[in-house]
Structures are given as C-alpha cells and as structure tokens.
Amino acid sequence: MGKIAGFIAIVLLSGYPVRSFSAGGDRNIRHNVVDTLLSYLGVKEATGNNDGYMVEKILSSVGAKKGDPWCGAFQGYVFIVNGLKIPQYAARASAWFDEKHIIPNKDAVTGDLGSIYYRKLGRIGHIVMFLQPYLNATPYVITGEGNTSSDGSREGNRAAKKIRPRAIIHSSANWIDNQ
C-alpha cells in the first residue's frame, strides 16, 4: 500500500472526520458542513438499537445517550465538527426549528435543515439536511440524514442520502448563516 493510501486508510479507520479543502484553503463553511455530512453517510447502528461506536459518539456529542434517536444528534455532530453552534437539545429534531433559525422552505439552500412532521406524533419527528436547494427543477429534494432507512423511516439504522418529495418538508431552518 502506498504512503498516501495508507494515510487515508488510517484516517478513515480512526473515526476522525474526513473534510475537504479547496485550493488556497478558503472554503465556504456551508460546503464544509455538507462535505462533513457526506463523509459520515454509511454510519450504521451495531444492533439496530441506536447503538454502535460511531452512533454512540454522535449521541454523546450532543448530550444524548445510547439508545436515543439520533437524527438530530447526527446533524448536531456535523455542526460541532465544523465549529458551529447547535441548539441546547440538539438530539430533538424540533429543537432546530426555533424562531431565530426558521426560514421559508422556498429559501432553503444546500446545508440548511428541513423537518418532517408526523401527524401521528403531533410534532416534528425527523430532521434532514438539504444537499441541494429546496427549490430545484424537480418536485423532490435530496437530503442527508441520520437514523433513517431505505424506506425513509425516522426509526432507521443508518446515515443515508435520501430523495424526498418536497411536499413532505414541514419547515426549514438556517443554522449556518444565523449563528
């Protein structure tokens, strides 16, 4: 194995975030946040019970514990890695959608957050990050999210990229520019 490949393997196996930097080192924080999230896609629970080394690291980063839902914690971890503020109860999806940070859905861009409201719960029950602007040429939006599944469940076992109908997005929030 070459020196560069060996170094990359060590970084990937160590659990440290993989971050990209543009030429000159002047990279937009919004791009860094999205790149960080993308680097964690594929994180998976060990037993399907909101557990496992990386899931527990994500949960503990926001003060949550093993077994707690981690969709909000996943977004919090991505923000923490990039030196950004997070809400006090970041593991709760609804905590991200306060008056200071909420924006019209039509204004949401890459790196902003979206909520999914569950009528059965009577509340916001899941959080996603937009990997493209909310308004685009399709009726869908591509998202990055934790604690999801192939069918888009809020009770999933992995971090994944999803294609979701725009109509399912309840509200949007900007935590990058509204620090």
Give pLDDT, residue 1: 45
The amino acid at 101: H
Give pLDDT, residue 7: 40
Burial of 92 (0-12, 13-18, 19+ CB in 10 A): buried
- Side-chain-facing half-sphere of 101: CA atoms under 13 Å: 22
Residue 147 lies in a domain: yes
Which of 110, 76, 105 lies closest to 90, judged by CA? Answer: 76
Residue 166 lies in a domain: yes
Residue 10 lies in a domain: no
CATH number assigned to the domain comprising residue 97: 3.90.1720.10
Report the C-alpha gap between 66 and 147 in whole angstroms.
13
Give pLDDT, residue 154: 84
Residue 21 lies in a domain: no
Give me the number of domains the chain comprises.
Answer: 1
Residue 110 lies in a domain: yes
Domain span at residue 51 reads 28-173
pLDDT in tens, the chain (179 residues): 454 444 443 334 444 444 444 333 457 999 999 999 999 999 999 999 999 999 999 999 999 999 999 999 999 999 999 999 999 999 999 999 999 999 999 999 999 999 999 999 999 999 999 999 999 999 999 999 999 998 878 889 999 999 999 999 999 999 999 87
Give pLDDT, residue 26: 54
Q: What's the Cα-to-Cα distance from 78 to each of 39, 67, 121, rounded to whole Å?
A: 10, 19, 26
Report the C-alpha gap between 3 and 33 in whole angstroms.
28
Which of 59, 54, 88, 82 lies closest to 71, judged by CA? Answer: 59
Residue 150 lies in a domain: yes
- The first and second tokens of residue 52, run together, are 């496992």
Residue 47 lies in a domain: yes
Residue 106 lies in a domain: yes
Give pLDDT, residue 127: 98
